[in-house]
Amino acid sequence: MDELVAALTETEYSFAHFGWSKAPSGDYGVYAEDDQLALYADNKPVEKVLQGTIDYFTRDDTGTPQTVIEAALEKYRVPYRMESIQFEPDTGYIHYEWVFEFLFNYVEPTPTPNEVTPNGED
């Protein structure tokens, strides 16, 4: 997730994690984790996929925010897909939404020498 935070920070747009305590004036964004899936083998977790969304609200209809945000995500190698671009008639904002995913591999801890027993003997 550090890559995602770095990418969004680099855009110099205003982003908050989960939401804003006070409604921002002007353009703003929110990112949040939505879902997680795990792959198990031998009754142990092997991999986990964390999925979330990035939402950006702007009145800039030039497409520049989309270009800037996607360039930053690509620079930091954040896997994403464009989910939708919508016009919000109540607020006049253009709402961009991306879905991001991170894959985490579980690593078995290496036993310390005191934990290893020859031939499984105690």
| Tens digits of residue pLDDT in 55-92 | 999 999 999 999 999 999 999 999 999 999 999 999 99
Percent of the chain at pLDDT > 70 equals: 87
Q: Crossing angle for the helix pair 64-75 and 2-10, nearest 10 degrees? A: 140
Q: How many domains does the chain have?
A: 1
Q: Tell me whether residue 117 is in a domain.
A: no
Q: Tell me whether residue 41 is in a domain.
A: yes
Q: Tell me whether residue 55 is in a domain.
A: yes
Tens digit of each residue's pLDDT (9 = 90 or more) over 88-97: 999 999 999 9
Alpha carbons 66 and 96: distance in angstroms, whole number? 7
Could you tell me the residue range of the domain that residue 87 belongs to? 2-107
Widest distance between CA atoms in the chain: 71
Alpha carbons 87 and 57: distance in angstroms, whole number? 9
Q: Tell me whether residue 50 is in a domain.
A: yes
Tens digit of each residue's pLDDT (9 = 90 or more) over 23-66: 788 999 999 999 888 888 888 878 888 899 999 999 999 999 99
Q: Tell me whether residue 120 is in a domain.
A: no
> Is the pLDDT assigned to residue 11 strictly greater than 70?
yes
Alpha carbons 69 and 10: distance in angstroms, whole number? 9
CATH of the domain at 80: 3.30.2000.30
- Verdict on whether the full-model pTM lies above 0.75: yes
Q: Tell me whether residue 121 is in a domain.
A: no
* Rounded average pLDDT over 94-110: 84
